[in-house]
Structure 1
Amino acid sequence: MALPTFTQQYEAGDAWLVNSCAHPNLVRDVWASRMLAPIPSGEEWLVAEARLATGYPRLVRIRAEQRGPVLADPVMDVLWWLVPLHAAEKLADVRQLAVKPSGWSLHCPPTGWQIEGRMWITRPDGSGRLTDPAVLAAAFGPGGYRLPAEASR
């Protein structure tokens, strides 16, 4: 079985993003104009926001297969993680993260592009995988995320 091409991966990620909003054709039209498209959170996922300067070192503490989509804006010094709808309660005590409310719009480029300096560090792949809030919270802790003891045997 052949692995998907980059184009196929980008198309799957784009389809997943646009299908999580009420007006997918509008999002595609905005992207075709090479602009950031506002995609509201709350239907499929929420957004957890951190400063890029403090969040990126935490990002690399999370194994790639445990990471959901992560969007970065170096000019604004911001990272955004796409997290499950129940994440707000689980991340409430992580002071370096702010979980945006349902309906908050994430202005994002398509998965394979960089627009206005904004880019996907971990691209949506169409699978719907999101970053587990427990893993994200642990990555912001003093020791970082560690596999459960039984997983390391």
Structure 2
Amino acid sequence: MATKPALTMRQAGQDWLLTCTPRPTDAQRAWDAEELALFTTGAHWLAAEVPLLRSVEIMPRIKARQLGPVLADVATERAWWLLPTDAGDLLDDLRHVTVQPPSWVLKCPPVLYPLNERVWLERPDGSGQLTDPILLGAALGPGGYRRPAEAST
């Protein structure tokens, strides 16, 4: 039986995520034990923390091919958008957004399934695609970013 494309993409996303830690075996062991794995920001990406509801509202405003991984915690109603490491202070002026500093620890479930009330709203796809902080900022800002097709309707 052939592997389904969605499952293959999810596995590619999980494989990519494991490259974002110096201890991929520890991450895999945590997942095998039904625990969240620890990933440190800074080397591969930064994490912008945004309220969960606001994140869900703005996700459709960003084109799918420009949307990077977004992790949510249902219990705390928070989401983390993975951004390039050079995002710097581009989001500093936005209320309710905190770009976590390098060396901050993000507890992640596997890409393949949710765990402990954490779920990938947008899964890593294996490409290394991260959300452009300018697009995220525009979507979160006053009036919100609208794709060109939305602007004309």
Is TM > 0.5 for Structure 1 vs Structure 2?
A: yes
Matched to 1:56, the amino acid is: V
Aligned residue number for residue 114 of structure 1: 114
Q: Under a length normalisation based on structure 2, what TM-score does the superposition of the two structures give?
A: 0.89
Q: Under a length normalisation based on structure 1, what TM-score does the superposition of the two structures give?
A: 0.89
Residue 96 of structure 1 and its aligned partner are, at CA, apart by 1.9
Aligned residue number for residue 95 of structure 2: 95
Q: Secondary structure at the match of 2:58?
A: helix
Gap regions ≥5 residues in structure 2: none
Aligned pairs, how many?
149
Matched to 1:112, the amino acid is: L
Aligned residue number for residue 76 of structure 1: 76
Q: Structure 1 residues 96 and 3, CA, compared in 2 at 3 Å: closer, same or farther? A: farther
Alignment of 1:2-151 (within 5 A): 5-147=5-147
Q: Structure 1 residues 33 and 135, CA, compared in 2 at 3 Å: closer, same or farther? A: same
Alpha-carbon distance in 2 for matches of 1:4, 1:93: 43
Alpha-carbon distance in 1 for matches of 2:84, 2:62: 16
**Superposition RMSD in Å:** 2.0
1:50-109 deviations in Å (ceiling 9; x for gaps): 111233212232222211000011111101100011113111111221000111111011
Residue 32 of structure 1 and its aligned partner are, at CA, apart by 0.9
Alpha-carbon distance in 1 for matches of 2:7, 2:21: 22
